[in-house]
Structures are given as C-alpha cells and as structure tokens.
C-alpha cells in the first residue's frame, strides 16, 4: 500500500505518526522512513534534546485503508516500510539488527545506491528499493480505522513482530489540522515492550497524552504545537524560536569585513572581504559596526592629515557614504589610541595569555624578551640575542614605525591596574576604545535588535552596553582559545574582563575545551555556579548563574562557505596558478603550510620534524618539497623578529643539507588572500597545520574543499596522493576534522612520523579520511553556525519581562541583576503609613548583615570567629538604642532571628526589654521579657532527641577536613558545619558532594537535615536537627501572637534579612501576606494577582490565616540589591538604620494622642501590652512566677500627652501629673473614625 492520500481507495484515510528509537546513530547521521512504494519520497524523522533518542515524523502520514469493516480486511493487507540512515544529506545504509537493543543473527545489509532526488525538506536523498532480501517493518492495516489517528513506535533494527501502536481518539470539536500526537507512554516502557515482543496496545481507552516540548531547531521548519487536548488553546505554550527577515542584527567586530580603495581622484570604493567570517550574507536585517582598515592602519587621521596611515578627517564622510550600501558603520578612533589598544593591550597582553603562554622570567607576558628596562627586580630576565645579522628594515625599530609595539617592561604590581605603570595606560586605551564602540552601537540600535560581538578586543563592551541598553540581547563570541584559570588569573584586570563577558547574555566559543576553561575561571575567580539549566523550549542549556540571571555558554565550531570557495577554485586564474606550482615541482610530493610568523604557530617545530624525517628516510630526499608561506606578523614585535630569524636559519640549514627541500616565502596578509591560498592548496598534496596553540583556523577546511573532487573517479585520474591534512591537536579544528592526521607538534618524532605516514598511506584510507573531513565541511557552513548561535541568543527571554532586570554598580563593576518584577527599593513612606495605622505589628529581623555588617564576608574573620580566636562583631550603640525604641512601642512585637548561638545573643541583645530572640536559625526561642533585669528563658523549637549523631558527623567531617586543605569544622550547640570556603573551589565542591552523600547514608536513621549551601560564599555542609529553619520559627512566632499580646491578629508584618539563610523566612512571610491580599480581592470580586515569582519557595501557610487580620499589610525586604524571595530591598546596613529610625519617629509622633481602643486596653497600672506569659507547649516550661513578667511594663515614656474622653479612668499616679488632655465635645465625635489628614500621613525627620 502507498502512503499517499489518494481517492482511489474508498476505505478512507488513517493518519499515522511514526516514532523510532535510535540509540546507535552517530554524529551527523539522520534517519528516514522509506515506504514500500517506489514513487514515495523518503520521510525524515526529527528529534529534540528532550525527546532523544526518539525520532519522530514532523507530521502525520496519510495511509489508505481498504474498503469494508476492519475485521474483514485480510491479514495479508499490510503497510511495509524500512528505515534508512543518511550522512551529510545522502543515503548511507539501511538499518540492521546491530542498531537494535540486542545483537541478533541476521544477514548483513548491503548498501543500495540509486539515483539522487531532492525532497521537499531540502535534503539530497537516494531512493534505494526495498527488495525481498531485507527485513522490513510491517503494519497490518486491519488494526487501523479510517478517520482516526495513531502513533507507531518502532525500534531501529527490530523488525520481528508488529510495532507498538497507540490509538489517539480525537475529540469531535477538533480537526486533524489542529493537533499533533505525541507518544503516550514513557520511552523506557515502550522500548522494553518492543524488545520483549509486545506488539499492540489495547484500544479500549484513550491513552494519556504526554507533552514533550520541542527544542529549538537549526535549519528545519518549526514543529507544530504539542497536543494538550481541550486545554491546548488556553495554555500559554511558547512558540519555537526562529529568525526571520524582520529580525534586526548588529554585528560588532574590531574591523569591518570590507576592503576600502581610494583612487588618485580621492574617490572611495569598497567591496566585501569574503575571507572574513562575518561577511556572510543573510536574510536578516544586519548592521555591521567596526573600525576601518585601510593601507595597513586604522583610525581617522594620519600624520599631517595624510592618508598614509589612516583615513583623513576631511574624507570621513566620504568613507561613511561609501560603506552605507553595505550597511556598515565605521567607528572613528584616534590611531594612537587604537594602536595602544590593539597592539599594546590586545596583542601584547591578552593574546599571549589567551593562548596559555606566560613567563615570570621575562619582561613581557608572552615569555619573550624585550628592550632594556629600568626595572631592577631580582627576577632574572631573558635577554634576546642581538639582531646584528638583520637588515635595518628588519629591526624592531623599523617595525615599530609601522605597527607601534608597546612592551610591558615597567609592569608594577599595584592594586589598581598596575598602580600607574605602562599597563595602566594600555588598560585605559582598551576601555576607551570599547566605550567608543558602545556609543556607535547605541546610535544604531533599534528596539528588538540582537547585538553580536566578536573577538577578544571587545570583552568589556557588554558592560558598557548593559548600562545604556539594559534590555538588549547581547552575545559575545571568542575566536581565540580561552586559557586555564591558572593562566588567566595572572592578569591584573581579570575580574573586570570576566564581568564584562558575563554582562552578555550568551558567550560562545568554538570548542567546549575553551568554554570549560571559561566556566572554571568564573567559578574560581568569581565564585559563580554553572550547569545545565532547563530552558523554556523543553531542553537544557549550559549556563552560568550570576546575580539572578543565566548567561548561556555555547560551543559551536564555525565552518566555511563551500560555494564561494568553489567559485574561487573554478576561476581560471586560480587554475593557472595551481598548474604553475605543480609544474615548478613536477614529480615531487608537495607539502604546504601557511602560518603567521609568530612562535605560537610552531613553524620551527615543523622544520625540526622535516629534518628528522629526511635523516631517517634519506630515500625521500629530492622527492618531496615543503612550501612554507610566512605571513608577516608585525604586531607581534620582538616575537616576530625572533621567529623570522629562527625560521631563516633553519630553512638555510635544511636546504644546505638537501637543496630545494624547503621553499620559504614571506608575504603580507594582503598578498596571501583567498585566491592565492586556494591555488597553493590545490597544487599541494598535503597541508600541514601544526600550531602549538591556536584558535579558529580555517586552513584545514579550505584544503578539504580544494581536494573534494578527489572523491570522484574523474578527480582520482591524475594519480596524485592528495587530500590529507596533518593537523596539530592544539588547533580548534582538530575536534571537527576527524579525517585529518592528528599530531602533537611538541613531539618532534611524531611530526617526523607524520611525513612517513602521509607518504605511505593507502589510497583507501586516504579517501576515507578525506570523505570524513568533507562531511563536516559540507554540513556545517558559516551560515549554519551563525544561525545556531543567533537562535540561542534570540531565545533569551530577556525582554519578556522588563521589570525583571536591574542595574547595580559603578564603572566596570556595573552589572545586570535578574530580579522579580516589582522588586524595588523599599518605599519607606508606604511602610511608615501602614506602620502608623496598624494596631498589631510583628517585626522580624536578621542579625548579621541586617543590623550590623556581616562577619562572613571576610574569610579570615569567619575562620577566626569559628575557631574562637576573635569575638563576633556587635551592633553599634545607635542600632541598639533604635531597637530599644522600637520595642518600647506597645503595638510592636519584635524578634531578632539569627544563626548565632543563644549565649551570644543573650550577651549582646538579651537586656533589651520586649525583644524576642531566636538563635541558631530558630532552634532556640526566647520570648519577649518586660524588664532587662529578668533572666532570659530559652525553649527549643523541636523536642530534645538523641544527639549522638554529632560525634558521628564530626568524625566523618574531620576525615574530609584533613584531606581538603582550607576546610575546617564549626560547632555550635545544635549543629555541626564543615566549611570549605578557603579550599580550592572545584575540589572543595567535589569533596562537599561526597561528604553530603556519606553523611546521608550514615545518618539516615537520625532526625537530622543535611544541607549543602552557601556556594556563592565558598560553600559548607551542615548537619542540624530536622525541621529547623527561619521559615518554621517565623510561623511559630506568628501562631503564638495571641499568647504574648493583647491582640488576636496582626495587621502589619515587616521582615528584614540579608542572605540565603533568611530566604525561608522571607518566602514564608511573603506568602502569608499574599493570602491576606487574595482573600480581600476575592471578597471584593477582584481578579487574582499574578502567581508568586520563582524566587519564592511555595509552602502551605494556611495554618497562619487565623492569626492575621484581613487588612494585613506585609513588607519583606532584603539588605543588598540581589535576587531574593523578598519583595523589596535596602542597599546596606546604614539604610536599615535610617529606616528603623524612621519607624521610631513615626511611633513617637503617633503616640502623642490615644484612641478609645488604646484607652480601653489600659489597666490600672497604665500597661496594656503583655498581661500574662505565653502558654506555649515546648520542651521547656516557664515557672508560674514568670507568667507575670510583663505586668509591670511601662509602655509610654514620661512627658507624653494623652487624649481621653467619656468617663473616668483609674490611672497610675504618674499619669495624674500630666497636663489635662483635650476632651471630646460629644459621644459621636469620640466614637467616629479618626480621619488622618494629608499632613498626618507625611513622615517628618
């Protein structure tokens, strides 16, 4: 039967979605379904990161069902099909039993290679016939009904028995076009059932439809939305991300990808630099920004205004007009400033470090020598050999006249960018140039544009952009390697560079090796966490978490554009030049190499390898030639001069022994453009790329395209042994060019052996290697690479919630913080107004970091406090007095909830009347006492229990502390903590994970919690009694309000905290306030508020409802602008002090007058706040004598006037000495609600 939808079959149509489990597919392989019909095209199956290893057809396939009842359809009426594996868009092989879950005996499948045809998906396919010699999948059509939809679940390579079929019964109000069915059971269950021989599900009931969100695609059409039944149209499912012609893109690079020309008449023209990676054409609206490069220099003015070293100022507008048709915008920078940035900082400082090269025995960071220095340091320096053998034109002074070389001889180790040394001016130039780029970008930016920054020259540019364009999506891609943390940390500006990169939304590298180093640097130098984070499309992305936002990290290697290279290859001038080279070295095997003249390219090592090969294999003398092209690297200064001298000496030595073996030619970059390179590589048989450290290098990819014709019979007719690439394992392309011959350039014997292997390699192996290399070159093009990166960048949901991001910091310390919407600075006016009107207030405050500076910020201070070698810091006298004043207000119940031990809190705050204390995150609670003379009584939050776990935990922790340098153990009365903040971050984290697992296994029978937290501050593993945290104790305090006060419910709630230990308290109390708001809105028939932000951990707080008023006003605040469960923030402890002082002033002003409610609460002693001891069930009990500890509390200080009316009150004698109050004129005036005028609502200071 056919899969086509034809009207010739009157039985009707069943729609079938095919899914197949493919666990054996290799990299770059795809799977296609071939129906048993020669006229049907193969149908591609796709997968996502969330669905892998299941592959699925994009849409349902129409299968014709024969006429008649399905029970009457013959068992012989089947739909047969087979799965084929494709590589690089062409048919590769059929499925075979080895692809299945187990190895079974069967005949080996043979490849069938029919003619090509192009399918609708754009792939080039072959159409092999299904012959009887191969196993096929069989679907009995009697199992299908017309008008229904099914899912067929196969396993690649398993053809025995029928596949598992899911029947999707469709609702009558939806058509076929509105939904796509997905697999209804788990992959593991489906795979197991197929493997065991089960072939069909029961049709008795509709299976559960499980949605599997689609991952973002590159180069494919979007998948239809997943089926969710009746809820599909109401759900807010996000559409897959795609790039279209309306998307704007700003591509930023240090140089524009164009060539400028100026004729004798002063007319400027330009054309694309097709060699530049960023010159590719796309359907997007692209604006390119960068500096212009003309006649080897860059800037806007030359010497005396001449164009010899830059574009003259008076011709700047002409250049801008010339570049406008290319959508290129130049950045005009002073040549001297640009030179300091480009040659001084980028090439002199960053370039060696990024390539893992540094030396402390050198006056230069790249390990090279330098000119004489006035530095009298005792560190020995390497003095370069004299260059007397070089001509005057080759001296460093001459080179510096063209490309100014900025050495770092006077580097001084100051705390602020070298303390004014040469590196200070270089860093200033670097920041100034990045700032100039930012200004140009802001002028060209349109809302919604993507900004894609390229190169290590602009690492801090995102820091400048986030300040001006906080909602722009910024991507940064590095085309160089990234060093290990031990090398990168030698830079004095390391934190600024890292923070600049992390201010982007996405950071890209060509290899994961480079990305891994970047992740490690972020972890070790900034203490950040990274990992696979779920995205909103159903997959997982590698990201770094910083300040509440995630910075994506991608590793995608760039490619080339084969069509452009093919045009260059087929050009007659290229053909003639290649033939000329072949004729010049006729009869010889040509090895070629094109490298820049610097030590990182490993040219001397290559010469040593050739020399050793010829010494070991003299029979090849005169039969091979190495054409070494050296690109002048003037910007490398001393390194260029030294490398050039060394290469000349080695070439002369080899040619002296074996004349004509090495042909060395030095040229400028402009003299070795794409056409010249392609001609040389077309003429060569083997290319050698042997750098000792290299970033993006496209020479191996270009060489593969130049010899791709060798895969055809016509190309092999010349009889040459060509197409092999000898590639250093330290080059980025070595990970993608699997067909190349990989070598370690540091091992000279291995380099010598590579010559021997290349000359003696069999034709079959050579072709297999070339074919493997060609797969990547043809599959991953420049456009595909760019689209993959840009789709991920566009997928950043940054502008979906404008209120989610906030800026903080000054200068290069400016950063974007990911906040919840509405996360603003605490509105002191709103708090004061609610505070004034409230009659029952609960105030919960943290200790360290909230009412005093945090001891934990300094590692040394933390260690000294933990080891009892220094005392804790205490709040200032001003803060203590402020807390006393707040506690003196009879409407307030104030608690300080701390992680400190109870004896310390008793010593520090225990004498403050009416102040409640909670120690060790709430394990111990001391209720407010009326007078300071009474002794503090503590009760435990949880009952006393077996504490033998402490000795077990300490014993285990001591083992880990002994083998983890920098870790130590902290002990308190109720908890044990292993702190590794001073240890190596990576090793400490691994040890902490192992310790956490160890403790979990050993202490599983004890009622304890094992916590691994504080990674941002260094990290710790803590063991403490189960069910103890600040969130639990805050609800415990709230539920006991009626027992310690005269009011039953509170109508004002204020919570202050500063770190991760306070988040449970902030989260719980914020939810208590939200429930009160929701109840009011429901009563008033108002729509509900949006859901709580993700930073709030949702828990059940319904048990607190009876203790809060329906008019409750809640304020949660964290100290420091950072992601938090709190709704607001204060910047520092000083702001907390000012805020609490404001509340004191409001209390003082508010209590000049009393309402009738206040008067009714006054007893004969003038005290109304605490009239009995709280009757609280706990493991500790208070004596009966202590039940009256609040009876003598004085709530109003002397001299405060009172307003009373209607009746005689029996007052304390102290009150009788007060001036007679104002008496209301009538009962209505007294009982009517008191109206606050505008002046009363204001807060006076």
> Distances from the Cα of 1093 to the Cαs of 548, 819, 1074, in angstroms?
12, 9, 12
DSSP tag of 773: H
Q: What is the pLDDT of residue 859?
A: 61
| Amino acid 807: pLDDT | 58
pLDDT bracket for residue 668 (50, 70, 90): confident
757 or 142, greater pLDDT:
757
Q: What is the mean pLDDT of residues 1085-1095?
A: 83
Give, in order, the Cα–Cα distances in Å from 1218 to each of 242, 581, 1201, 1202: 77, 113, 7, 8
Among the residue ranges 116-125, 436-445, 788-797, the one predicted with the least confidence is 116-125
Quote the pLDDT of residue 673. Answer: 87
pTM of the full structure: 0.63
Mean pLDDT over 521-548 rounds to 81
The region of weakest confidence among 315-319, 518-522, 1062-1066, 1169-1173 is 1169-1173
**At 509, is the pLDDT very low, low, confident or very high (cuts 50, 70, 90)?**
very high
pLDDT (0 to 100) of residue 695 = 86
Interval 101-110 mean pLDDT: 44
Which letter does DSSP use for residue 1207 in this model?
S
**Contact, 872 vs 1084, CB < 8 A?**
no
Please list the alpha-helical segments (H only) found in 1003-1062.
1030-1039, 1041-1044
Please tell me the predicted confidence (pLDDT) of residue 816: 60
Q: 1019 to each of 65, 102, 489, 526, 862, how far by Cα in Å?
A: 64, 45, 21, 13, 13
Lowest-confidence range among 201-215, 506-520, 663-677, 736-750?
Answer: 201-215
How much is the average pLDDT of 1220-1239?
A: 42
Residue 1185 CA to residue 1167 CA, distance in Å, equals 19
Q: What is the average per-residue pLDDT within 1135-1150?
A: 85
Query: Which pLDDT score is estimated for 649?
Result: 94
Contact 781, 560 (CB under 8 A): yes
Residue 1214: which pLDDT band, with cuts at 50, 70 and 90?
Answer: very low
- Structure token pair of residue 314: 């008076």
Is residue 295 over pLDDT 70?
no
Beta strand extents in 243-387 (DSSP E only):
248-255, 258-262, 268-272, 285-291, 328-330
Q: Which of 920, 976, 980 is nearest to 952 (CA)?
A: 976
Which pLDDT score is estimated for 809? 57
Q: Which residue has the tokens 């205004």?
A: 305
Lowest mean pLDDT among 64-78, 1027-1041, 1098-1112: 64-78
Looking at residue 77, its pLDDT comes to: 80
- Tell me what pLDDT residue 482 has: 94
**Quick one: pLDDT at residue 580?**
93
Contact present, 50 and 538 (Cβ < 8 Å) = yes
Q: How far apart are CA 327 and CA 285, in angstroms?
A: 9
Q: What is the DSSP letter of 1103?
A: G
What's the confidence (pLDDT) of residue 231?
35
* 313 pLDDT more than 90: no
H-helix or E-strand containing 153?
Answer: strand 149-155
Tens digits of residue pLDDT in 996-1009: 889 988 888 888 88
- How much is the CA Rg of the chain, to the nearest whole Å? 38
Q: Is the pLDDT of residue 864 over 90?
A: no
Nearest by Cα to 914 from 956, 945, 885: 885
> Is the distance from CB of 1019 to CB of 988 less than 8 angstroms?
yes
- pLDDT, greater one: 1168 or 926: 926
Residue 903 backbone zone (phi > 0: left; psi -120 to 50: alpha; other: beta):
alpha
| Distances 1106 to 729, 835, 1031, 1051 between C-alpha atoms, Å | 70, 21, 18, 12
Is pLDDT above 50 for 104? no
Question: Is the Cβ–Cβ distance between 490 and 358 less than 8 Å?
Answer: yes
At 1146 the pLDDT is 87
Is the N-terminal amide bond of 53 cis, ω within 30° of 0?
yes
Of the candidates 433, 397, 403, 408, the one whose C-alpha atom is nearest the C-alpha of residue 349 is 408
Give the pLDDT band (50/70/90) at residue 239: low
Provide the pLDDT for residue 815.
60
Structure tokens at 628: 């070494």
Q: Quick one: what percent of the chain has pLDDT higher than 70?
A: 70
H-state helical runs in 360-460: 396-402, 422-444
pLDDT at 22 over 80: yes
For position 309, what pLDDT does the model report? 60
**Which of the residue ranges 134-143, 922-931, 1186-1195 would you say has the lowest mean pLDDT?**
1186-1195
Q: Please report the pLDDT score of residue 401 as a whole number.
A: 39
For strands 268-272 and 285-291, give the pairing: unpaired
What pLDDT shows up at residue 1011?
86
Residues contacting residue 430 through CB under 8 Å, at least 6 positions apart? 341, 345, 346, 460
Whether the predicted pLDDT of 230 surpasses 50: no
Burial of 200 (0-12, 13-18, 19+ CB in 10 A): middle
Q: Among 222-236, 563-577, 765-779, 878-892, which is the least confidently predicted range? A: 222-236
3-state secondary structure (DSSP) of residue 543: strand
- Give residue-wise pLDDT tens across range 963-976: 888 888 888 888 89
φ/ψ (deg, to 5) at 769: -65, -45
Residue 164 is encoded by which pair of tokens?
């598992």
Give me the torsion for CA of 919, 921, 927, 929, rounded to 10°: 40
Question: pLDDT grade, residue 306 (50/70/90)?
Answer: very low
Instruction: Yes or no: say if 1117 and 1126 are a contact pair by the CB < 8 Å rule.
Output: yes
In the beta sheet, which residues pair with residue 894?
A: 843, 915
- Over residues 1128-1144, the mean pLDDT reads 88
- pLDDT above 90 (res 845): yes
Q: What is the DSSP letter of 848?
A: B
Cα torsion angle, 49, 51, 53, 56, sign: negative
d(CA 427, CA 434): 11
Which tens digits make up the pLDDT trace of 699-709?
999 999 999 88
The answer to whether residue 415 scores a pLDDT higher than 60 is no
Contact 1067, 1030 (CB under 8 A): no
> Where residue 1207 falls among pLDDT bands split at 50, 70, 90?
very low
CA angle 25, 192, 83 (to 5 degrees): 35
271, β-bridge pairs: 259
pLDDT at 173 over 70: no
329-354 pLDDT, tens digit each: 999 988 888 888 888 899 888 988 99
Q: What was the pLDDT predicted at 563?
A: 86
Identify the pLDDT of residue 1121: 75
């Amino acid at each position: 039967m056919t899969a086509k939808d034809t009207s010739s079959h009157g039985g009707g149509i069943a729609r079938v979605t095919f899914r197949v489990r493919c666990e054996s597919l290799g990299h770059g392989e795809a799977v296609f379904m071939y129906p048993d019909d020669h006229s049907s095209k193969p149908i591609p199956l796709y997968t996502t990161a969330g669905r892998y290893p299941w592959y699925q057809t994009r849409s349902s396939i129409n299968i014709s069902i024969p006429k008649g009842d399905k029970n009457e359809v013959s068992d012989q009426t089947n739909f047969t099909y087979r799965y084929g594996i494709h590589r690089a868009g062409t048919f590769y092989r059929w499925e075979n039993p080895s692809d299945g879950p187990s190895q079974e005996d069967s005949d080996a499948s043979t490849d069938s290679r029919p003619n090509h045809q192009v399918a609708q998906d754009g792939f080039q396919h072959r159409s092999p016939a299904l012959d009887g010699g191969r196993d096929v999948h069989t679907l009995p059509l009697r199992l299908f009904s017309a008008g229904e939809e099914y899912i067929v679940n196969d396993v690649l390579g398993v053809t025995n028995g029928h596949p598992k079929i899911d029947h999707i019964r469709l609702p009558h109000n939806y058509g076929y076009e509105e939904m796509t069915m997905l697999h209804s059971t788990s992959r593991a269950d489906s795979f197991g059932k197929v493997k065991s021989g089960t072939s069909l599900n029961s049709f008795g009931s509709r299976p559960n439809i499980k949605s599997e969100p689609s991952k973002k695609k590159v180069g494919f059409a979007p998948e239809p939305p997943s089926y969710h039944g009746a809820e599909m149209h109401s759900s807010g499912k996000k559409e897959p991300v795609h790039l279209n012609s309306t998307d704007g893109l700003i591509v930023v690079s240090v140089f524009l990808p164009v060539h400028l020309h100026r004729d004798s008449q002063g007319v400027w023209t330009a054309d694309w630099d097709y060699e530049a990676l960023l010159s590719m054409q796309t359907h997007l609206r692209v604006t390119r920004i960068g500096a212009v490069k003309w006649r080897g220099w860059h800037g806007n003015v030359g010497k005396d205004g001449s164009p010899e070293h830059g574009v003259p100022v008076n011709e700047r507008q002409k250049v801008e007009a010339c570049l406008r048709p290319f959508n290129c915008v130049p950045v005009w920078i002073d040549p001297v400033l640009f030179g300091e940035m480009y040659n001084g900082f980028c090439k002199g400082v960053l370039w060696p470090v990024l390539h893992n090269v540094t030396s402390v025995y050198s006056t230069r960071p790249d390990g090279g020598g330098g000119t004489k220095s006035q530095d009298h340091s005792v560190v020995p320096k390497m003095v370069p050999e004299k260059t007397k053998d070089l001509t005057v034109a080759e001296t460093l002074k001459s080179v510096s006249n063209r490309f100014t070389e900025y050495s770092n001889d006077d580097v001084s180790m100051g705390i602020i960018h070298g303390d004014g040394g040469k590196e200070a001016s270089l860093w200033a130039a670097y920041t100034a140039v990045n700032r100039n780029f930012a200004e140009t970008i802001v002028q060209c930016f349109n809302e919604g544009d993507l900004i894609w920054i390229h190169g290590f020259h602009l690492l801090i540019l995102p820091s400048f952009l986030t300040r001006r364009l906080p909602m722009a999506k910024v991507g940064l891609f590095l085309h160089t390697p990234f060093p290990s943390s031990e090398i990168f940390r030698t830079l004095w500006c390391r934190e600024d560079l890292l923070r600049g990169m992390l201010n982007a939304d996405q950071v890209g590298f060509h290899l994961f090796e480079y990305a891994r180093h970047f992740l490690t640097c972020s972890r070790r130098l900034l203490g950040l966490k990274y990992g696979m984070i779920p995205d909103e499309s159903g997959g997982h992305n590698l990201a770094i978490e910083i300040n509440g936002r995630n910075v994506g990290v991608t590793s995608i290697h760039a490619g080339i554009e084969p069509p452009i290279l093919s045009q260059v290859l087929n050009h007659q001038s290229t053909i003639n030049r290649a033939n000329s080279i072949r004729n010049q070295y006729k009869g010889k095997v040509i090895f070629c190499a094109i490298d820049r003249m610097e030590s990182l390219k490993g040219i001397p090592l290559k010469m040593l390898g050739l020399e050793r090969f010829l010494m070991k294999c003299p029979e090849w003398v005169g039969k091979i030639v190495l054409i070494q092209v050296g690109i002048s690297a003037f910007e490398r200064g001393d390194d260029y001069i030294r490398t050039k001298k060394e290469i000349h000496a080695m070439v002369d030595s080899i040619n002296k022994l074996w004349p004509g073996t090495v042909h060395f030619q030095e040229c400028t970059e402009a003299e070795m453009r794409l056409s010249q390179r392609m001609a040389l590589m077309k003429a060569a048989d083997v290319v050698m790329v042997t750098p000792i450290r290299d970033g993006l290098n496209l020479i191996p990819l270009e060489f593969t395209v130049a010899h791709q014709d060798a895969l055809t019979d016509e190309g092999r007719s010349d009889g040459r042994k060509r197409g092999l690439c000898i590639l250093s394992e330290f080059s980025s392309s070595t990970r993608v060019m699997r067909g190349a011959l990989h070598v370690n350039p540091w091992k000279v014997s291995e380099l010598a052996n590579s010559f021997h292997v290349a000359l003696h390699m069999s034709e079959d192996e050579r072709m297999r290697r070339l074919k493997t290399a060609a797969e990547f070159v043809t599959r991953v093009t420049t456009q595909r690479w760019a689209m993959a990166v840009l789709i991920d960048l566009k997928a950043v949901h940054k502008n979906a919630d404008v209120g989610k991001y906030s800026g903080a910091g000054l200068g290069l310390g400016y950063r974007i913080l990911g906040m919840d919407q509405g996360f603003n600075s605490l509105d002191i006016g709103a708090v004061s107004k609610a505070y004034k009107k409230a009659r029952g207030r609960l105030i919960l405050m943290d200790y360290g970091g909230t009412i005093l500076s945090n001891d934990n910020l300094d590692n040394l201070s933390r260690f000294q406090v933990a080891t009892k070698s220094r005392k804790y810091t205490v709040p200032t006298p001003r803060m203590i007095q402020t807390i006393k004043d707040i506690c003196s207000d009879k409407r307030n119940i104030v608690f300080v909830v701390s992680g400190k031990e109870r004896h310390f809190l008793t010593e520090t705050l225990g004498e403050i009347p009416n102040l409640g204390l909670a120690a060790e995150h709430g394990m111990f609670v001391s209720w407010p006492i009326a007078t300071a003379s009474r002794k503090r009584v503590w009760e435990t939050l949880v009952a006393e229990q077996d504490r033998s776990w402490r000795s077990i935990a300490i014993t285990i922790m001591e083992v880990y502390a002994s083998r983890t340098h920098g870790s130590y153990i902290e002990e308190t009365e109720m908890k044990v903590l292993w702190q590794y903040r001073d240890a190596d971050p990576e090793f400490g984290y691994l040890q902490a994970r192992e310790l956490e697992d160890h403790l979990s296994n050993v202490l599983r029978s004890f009622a304890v919690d094992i916590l691994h937290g504080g990674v941002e501050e260094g990290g710790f593993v803590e063991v403490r009694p189960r069910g103890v945290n600040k969130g639990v104790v805050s609800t415990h305090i709230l539920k006991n309000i009626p027992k310690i006060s005269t009011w039953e419910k509170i109508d004002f709630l204020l919570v202050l905290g500063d770190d991760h230990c306070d988040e449970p308290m902030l989260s719980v109390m914020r939810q208590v306030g939200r429930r009160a708001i929701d109840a009011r809105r429901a009563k008033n028939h108002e729509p509900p508020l949006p859901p709580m932000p993700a930073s709030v951990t949702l828990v059940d707080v319904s048990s607190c409802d009876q203790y809060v008023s329906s008019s409750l006003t809640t304020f949660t605040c964290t100290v420091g602008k950072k992601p938090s469960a709190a709704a607001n923030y204060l910047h520092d402890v000083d702001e907390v002090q000012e805020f609490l002082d404001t509340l004191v002033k409001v209390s003082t002003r508010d209590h000049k007058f009393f309402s009738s409610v206040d008067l009714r609460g006054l007893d004969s002693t003038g005290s109304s706040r605490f009239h009995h001891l709280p009757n609280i069930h706990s493991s500790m009990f208070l004596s009966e004598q202590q039940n009256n500890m609040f009876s003598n509390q004085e709530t109003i200080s002397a001299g405060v006037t009172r307003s009373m009316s209607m009746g005689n009150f029996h007052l304390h004698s102290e009150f009788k000495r007060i001036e007679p109050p104002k008496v209301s004129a009538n009962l209505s005036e007294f009982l009517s609600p008191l109206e606050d005028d505008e002046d009363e609502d204001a807060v006076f200071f």
